[in-house]
């Protein structure tokens, strides 16, 4: 396989574009982030890379909490909108028709229309350069029962959305289960 060499960059793909909701005082917002991921399983920690100039940055920093809402691919237009328009000028809840539900552990609202909502409390913020890394401990999880199959949440049924190289994609086919190939004879 022929390879090309490029300069350093963020070539990790695909990524989960998430809608992060936040609230502090009378300010609420939704920000789309693709720089999101799992940082630790015990305790469960989610990482978010956020530019300091973004409107949600100060809201999350001041409140110390946020909700990661995992959207469906069918919501891609709303996901893109929330990432390209500032909450300083637009009420994204009203514009997008999102229903804000109260969280069970944090003041930031859950987005009712998203299949999964992860309530998080900030445990650390690391300045890295263009972005600061927010580490949030997951304190509550909410998920739509309609996407449970075989006693497990099914991201394919939930119409999972992924992102890479400036484009959005719908999650593809299931190839197998974790550890399945270890059980097969070689």
Residues 66-96 have pLDDT tens digits of: 999 999 999 999 999 999 999 999 999 999 9
Residue 57 forms part of a structural domain: yes
Structural domain contains residue 135: yes
Spatial distance between the Cα atoms of 46 and 40, rounded to a whole number of angstroms: 7
Q: What is the pTM of this model?
A: 0.94
13 falls within a domain: no
Q: What are the tokens at 167? A: 């484009």
Is 5 part of a structural domain of the chain? no
Domain housing 141:
18-183
If one counts the domains in the chain, the total is 1
Say if 123 falls within a structural domain: yes
98's tokens: 């999102």
* Cβ atoms 81, 96 nearer than 8 A: yes
**What's 121's domain CATH number?**
2.30.110.10
- Reported as a single tens digit per residue, the pLDDT across 51-70 is 999 999 999 999 999 999 99
Residue 112 lies in a domain: yes
**Within-domain flag for 102:** yes
List all residues 6 or more positions away from 86 whose beta carbon is below 8 Å from its beta carbon: 54, 55
d(CA 140, CA 155): 19
């Amino acid at each position: 396989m022929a390879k090309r060499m490029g300069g350093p960059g963020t070539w990790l793909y695909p990524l989960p574009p998430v809608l992060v909701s936040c609230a502090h005082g009378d300010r609420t917002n939704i920000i789309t982030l693709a720089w999101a991921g799992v940082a630790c399983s015990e305790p469960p920690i989610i990482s978010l890379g956020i530019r300091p100039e973004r409107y949600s940055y100060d809201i999350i920093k001041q409140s110390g909490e946020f909700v990661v809402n995992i959207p469906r691919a069918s919501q891609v237009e709303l996901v893109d909108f929330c990432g390209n328009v500032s909450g300083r000028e637009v009420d994204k809840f009203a514009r997008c028709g999102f229903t804000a539900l109260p969280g069970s552990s944090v003041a930031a609202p859950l987005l009712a229309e998203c299949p999964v909502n992860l309530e998080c409390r900030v445990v650390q913020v690391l300045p890295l350069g263009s972005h600061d890394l927010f580490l949030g401990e997951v304190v509550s999880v909410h998920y739509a029962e309609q996407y449970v199959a075989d006693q497990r949440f099914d991201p394919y049924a939930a119409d999972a959305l992924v992102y890479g190289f400036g484009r959005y994609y719908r999650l593809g086919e299931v190839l197998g289960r974790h550890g399945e190939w270890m059980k097969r004879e070689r």
